Amino acid sequence: MSENNILITGCAGFIGSHVTDEFLSSGYKVVGYDSFTYAGKESNLTNARTFGERFSLVRGCITDKPLLLETIKKNNIKWIVNLAAETHVDNSIASCDVFINTNIIGTKTILDICRETGCLLFHFSTDEVYGVSPIGLPFREVDALNPRNPYSATKAAADHMVLAYNNTFGTKYIIVRPSNNFGTRQHSEKFIPTILRSLSSGKKIPIYGRGEQIREWTSVEETAKAVVHILEHSPINEIYNITSGMYMKNIDVVKQICKISDLSFEDSVEFVQDRLGHDFRYAVSSSKLQKLGYFVSVDFESQVRKVIENDFGCLRHKT
């Protein structure tokens, strides 16, 4: 195994492409692996391709064990950074079959390969595995998991599989649980792209319920930097929350983006029926990550402006 050879699954997705860019910028040789579902885009890899021979791409699903195993052996991979996942809660409520296949069976496939090859696993989870957080009590990495929708249940199951393989077979891992990410390249189904897409097309922004749900918001670029820091500085077999500590109600996110875009909030929104089982508040502590030496920066407005500039050109004249 080469210290600098890593394989990133889900490399063409939103967070995956930013993580790929950050590892390449940090001097690693990256093999990207992606099945290019609706959430993966070739355009997300534009920057990665500028690194020449240090980036290569394999098209495949993480449940395809023979292809994944061949790729890992051929490229002398030390770390598998697993970002391949189905992530949209609404889709999991409509049907969770693909979530079970990708998030659980796919993770199990990767774990079997790690067991067979000795590769180390850097696994992406989510803050949603903890469930709803009592006000004032952000979850720590040692807290019990209590997922409350089909998406987060499959991610929690994957976390348990990683820990079980470590206990049973000695598989070595690091798990990260990021809070809500936002930034350039994010799929249109997510909350902030939905806001900006609605504004750019002159349509009303749909807000679930009264918009009182509380989330933590973290720049995807900060998440990518934190990941590289964790991989380079953390002991093996650890779990880290990645979050900015910036809490905002959904309705306040909309208000701030309307203000940034110089548009009327009252004229730009409509309230719609709330999502089934919609969790009220997510909150996690990043104190463990800070003890490792990484502090997530918070600059919501400038990051939103970057999204508008890069992904929503028709709003540029308003910013």
Active-site annotation, residues = 127-128, 151
Query: How far is residue 86's CA from residue 231's CA, in Å, rounded to a whole number?
Result: 23
**Largest alpha-carbon pair distance within the chain?**
58
Phi, psi values for residue 266, rounded to 5°:
-60, -35
Q: What is the dihedral of CA 303, 304, 307, 313, to 10 degrees?
A: -140
Inter-helix orientation angle 65-74/106-117, to 10°: 40
